A and B are shown apart, each in its own frame.
Chain A
Amino acid sequence: MSATETAPPGLRTRGLAVAYDDVAALDGVDLDVAAGSVVSVLGPSGSGKSTLLRVVAGLEPSAAGTVFWADEDLTRVPPHRRRFGLMFQDHALFPHRNVGDNVGFGLRMQWLPRAEVERRAGAALARVGLAGFDHRRVHELSGGEQQRVALARAIAPEPRLLMLDEPLGSLDRELRDRLMVELRTLFVELGLSALFVTHDHDEAFAVADRVLIMRNGRVEQDGRPEVVWQRPATELTARFLGFVNTVTLGDRRLLTRPDGIRVDPTGAIAGTVVTRTFRRDHFLLAVEALDGSRYEVAATGTQIPSCGDHVGLTVDQSAAVEFPPS
């Protein structure tokens, strides 16, 4: 980039690399988060996604690569001067401070007047639905409340980039679904730039404008959620995203999700139902085909086969992705 050109606001990393004991945790990661957009990073445990957050936050030095915000080189800038927010896994609330002091912490670090700190901390708490919680002790809160306090603490100083490390990881499903919506609303309302790390698909795809898939310290795929969801770029990504069935049609190899295969008496694949599991809005069937291969099938409707039933299966090719034969 030439010196005269002005980069658009947003986070930009190039070639980030980190290794622990010769094992690469990050291996040449390029990441862009445009101002006002929400990016989630999705990957299995150990894929390097948390390390990526820590490097962007400045908590972890990188062996190589750069971190920029617009034109500002942050690579060697310590965390407290990056004006990024980070919401930790398990929240990392200060146990020795009450809720209000936790939320006001970042504002105090800016040496704001006390009244201002209290006002803005109160506002941040109200924003996450905890108005009036200022004087509560941290260890008296429920898991969901702690999560909201952590969020309020992270947004109170109005960081230019908010990072969230598995923010909903420890919460129960119902709460998580609700908070996911709230998060998305909050991001939009505040026009926040956010970088969101998770291993949970629903979270990643529900909240983000863009999704990155990481594996072994590398970015495997980077795109809009619906594109990544429907067209994983590699077989490993596809498997990770739930394309569990491999169907071989002639010399074509198709990968599909359970809902990409229908129970169809006329289907080309014949097999026997081995297990049947109720999944709220559908049944998940495991079907063993005559050639010994197994398929996971989402069955809806009123006529759900039982265990031991002989069934036929049809592959919905529009919902499948094709990879070269292995």
Chain B
Amino acid sequence: MSRARLLLLALVPLAFLGIFFLYPVGTILGRGLWSHGGPNFGAIGDVVGDAGLRRVAWFTVWQAAASTTLTLAIGLPGACLFARYDFPGRPLLHAAIIVPFVLPTVVVGSAFLALLGPGGPLAFLGIDGTVFAILLAHVFFNYAVVVRTVGGLWSHLDPRREEAARMLGASRTRVFLHVTLPALRPAIAAAAAIVFLFTFTSFGVILVLGGPRFATLETEIYRQTALLLDLRVAAALSIIQLAAVVVLLGIGSLARGRHAVTLGLRPAATTGRRPHGVGPTAFVAGNLAVMAVLLALPIAVLVERSFATPGGPSLGFYRALGDVGTGSTFLVAPAEAIRNSLSYAIVATAIALVIGGIAAVVIVSRERHGGRFALGLDGLLALPLGVSAVTVGFGFLIALDAPPLDLRTSWWLVPIAHALVATPFVIRTMTPVLRSIDPRLRDAAAVLGATPSRVWREVDLRIGARAVGVAAGFAFAISLGEFGATAFIARPDRPTLPVVIYRLLGRPGTTTFGAAMAAGVILMVLTATAVLFIERFHAPGTGEG
């Protein structure tokens, strides 16, 4: 594709980001830093000079680094499992592992507390209320990010390279270190960057599991903005947070490497095989055990609670959930909440796929020419992950207030906010696969008469189809489970499932709590079903369908 056309194409994601992120965030930061008719950066100095806030910043960084490392350590074997082995129930499990990713933190928090707290089955670990509980919860939430981002690429790697290395005398470990790992580096770096950003800006998990002793930059920004309306300090904190995120994204880009790697990809279907022998069987079993304890146990607690009515197990809470919609504006019937959730998710996914897809294509095309532009675009579009939801939400309010963009109370702000969060996932899921497409396939298509856009459709899109499926699944799940960003947007009252859960949890009573758990279970089932459907729809091999 010609340079001019690419740059033109790049304007789409840039405009989206500019209008719905940079401009609102810039406006609110500007308001905080503008005093006495001019910019005043004194607040930053004040914040940096405050020992308490420095401690908060340090804690934010190290817990995020620790969480990312732990998630990678536990997630990489999982990625290998899905990429290299075939076993009964694999597709279902692959869709199910994304469930934790969408659960509201309050719900997960209560499940973890039930497990780790006094009397819980894992109380013997003694990590309730410690930073380890936070790390564990971060692994719970982000496991799917690593498994799916890295596994997506892994399943396409040609196993013959590994076999070749084995024949050359390399042990399994050395094959992994010297052959597999370098090939996976782009995906690992992408996953690590996302997990780091997520845990760096972690909010609910820190508060619920760590207790109020632990504070992060994100919780401080929330407090200063939403509670105290001290925009000056909030802006200073946001800028520090942003600076950290920019540095991090820079490191991530460098780690990912600038040069396009061609990996000799094969259709995923041919690389999975049944485990044979003691080693592989033990590997599969070990991974399944990890998932059972880490992912299934907390979820099982939720499911159990949704049925645990006072008179013994029953569907009572689900029935109660059906009744809540009648009579009051406070809650809606589950069917309506599901419809609201799906509407937002479909629109948010569509936006994220278009914006992220275009960005991925531009990035990969420019990379082939060694451009810095690609790195910049990639990093820029990841920024929304590193900025507090409250900053974005309040920014919308004061920036998008004049026609033609008077969207302050529009229905569209919610899916747009979701799409901002989902777009980096779309990009990071798609670029490694697009990047690894043999460029001669594009040449072959062009020589056979395909126009540049058709080359893209016939080669990039078709081979990237599985990545599109995974990306769409991610985006959909993010939107279904999103609550943080939504909470700070003034929006017409159309409660989604997470909103229903929060509202139920805000009231005393066994029934409302049980109904909240039931709504949580419905959210999980809905998410798993939607993701399974989306992936099936795109999945067959690498798009032979």
Residues of A within 8 A of B (CB): 54, 57-59, 78-86, 88, 90, 92, 94-98, 105-106, 109-110, 137, 139, 153-154, 157
Contact = CB atoms under 8 A, between A and B. Distances in A.
Given A92-B444, A94-B445, 17 more contacts: A79-B443, A80-B448, A81-B449, A82-B447, A85-B448, A86-B443, A88-B443, A88-B444, A92-B441, A96-B267, A96-B462, A96-B465, A97-B462, A106-B449, A139-B266, A153-B448, A157-B449
A91 to B, nearest CB: 9
Contacts of B162: none
Interface residues of B, number: 28
Given A88-B440, A95-B265, A79 B270 contact: no
Interface in B430-448: 438, 440-441, 443-448
Contacts of A137: 544
Interface stretch (B7-15, B218-226, B348-356, B452-460): B452-460
Interface in B453-485: 454-455, 458-459, 462-463, 465
B377 interface: no
A57 B544 contact: no
A83 B450 CA distance: 11
A95 B449 contact: no
B77 interface: no
B541 interface: yes
- Give the most central of A95, A110, A139: most B CB within 10 Å: A95
A109 B450 CA distance: 5
Contacts of A154: 448
B69 interface: no
A106 B462 CA distance: 16
B445 A78 contact: no
10 contacts: A57-B447, A80-B446, A80-B449, A80-B452, A88-B443, A92-B440, A95-B266, A95-B542, A105-B445, A110-B449
A83 B448 contact: no
Q: Which 10 residue pairs spanning A and B have beta carbons closest together?
A: A106-B448, A109-B449, A92-B440, A79-B446, A86-B447, A96-B542, A92-B444, A80-B449, A109-B450, A59-B443
B415 to A, nearest CB: 31
B204 interface: no
A96 B443 contact: no
A170 B541 CA distance: 27
Contacts of A94: 441, 444-445, 459, 462
Contact of B443 (A57, A90, A106): A57
Given A88-B440, A139-B267, A96 B447 contact: no
B451 interface: yes
A110 B270 CA distance: 32
B443 A92 contact: yes
A97 B444 contact: no
Interface of B: 265-267, 270, 438, 440-441, 443-452, 454-455, 458-459, 462-463, 465, 541-544
A79 B440 CA distance: 13
B447 A85 contact: yes
Contact of B541 (A54, A96, A110, A153): A96
- Give the most central of A109, A137, A153: most B CB within 10 Å: A109
A62 to B, nearest CB: 16
Contacts of A92: 438, 440-441, 443-444
- Give the most central of B444, B455, B543: most A CB within 10 Å: B444
A80 B451 contact: yes
B541 A139 contact: no
A96 B449 contact: no
Contacts, number: 84
Nearest to A82: B447
Contacts of A97: 462, 544
Contacts of B451: 78, 80, 109
Contact of A80 (B265, B438, B447, B462): B447
B544 A98 contact: yes
Contacts of A139: 266-267, 270
A59 B462 contact: no
A96 B459 CA distance: 9
B458 A105 contact: yes
B441 to A, nearest CB: 6
Given A95-B542, A96-B544, A157 B448 contact: yes
B446 to A, nearest CB: 4
A87 B522 CA distance: 54
A139 B267 CA distance: 9
A119 to B, nearest CB: 17
B544 A78 contact: no
A110 B463 CA distance: 21
A241 B449 CA distance: 37
Contacts of B459: 94
Nearest to A57: B447
Given A95-B267, A139-B270, A83 B440 contact: no
Contacts of A105: 445, 448, 450, 458
A94 B441 CA distance: 6
Contacts of B452: 78, 80
A96 B440 contact: no
Contacts of A88: 440, 443-444
Nearest to B267: A95
Contacts of B270: 139
A78 B448 contact: no
A109 B543 CA distance: 18
B133 to A, nearest CB: 45
A314 B309 CA distance: 107
Nearest to B265: A95
Contacts of A86: 443-444, 447
A169 to B, nearest CB: 14
A58 B450 CA distance: 13
A83 B447 CA distance: 7
Nearest to A60: B443
A79 B265 CA distance: 25
B267 to A, nearest CB: 6
A95 B543 CA distance: 10
A94 B458 CA distance: 10
A106 B267 CA distance: 22
Nearest to B466: A96
Contacts of B444: 86, 88, 92, 94, 153
B433 to A, nearest CB: 12
A210 B438 CA distance: 32
A151 to B, nearest CB: 13
A59 B440 CA distance: 10
A88 B445 CA distance: 11
B543 to A, nearest CB: 5
A97 B545 CA distance: 9
A169 B51 CA distance: 69
A169 B463 CA distance: 27
Contact of B543 (A78, A79, A96): A96
Given A95-B265, A96-B463, A109 B448 contact: yes
Contacts of B265: 95
A77 to B, nearest CB: 12
B434 to A, nearest CB: 13
Contacts of B465: 96
A90 B440 CA distance: 10
A174 B266 CA distance: 29
A174 B65 CA distance: 59
Contact of B454 (A59, A81, A109, A157): A109
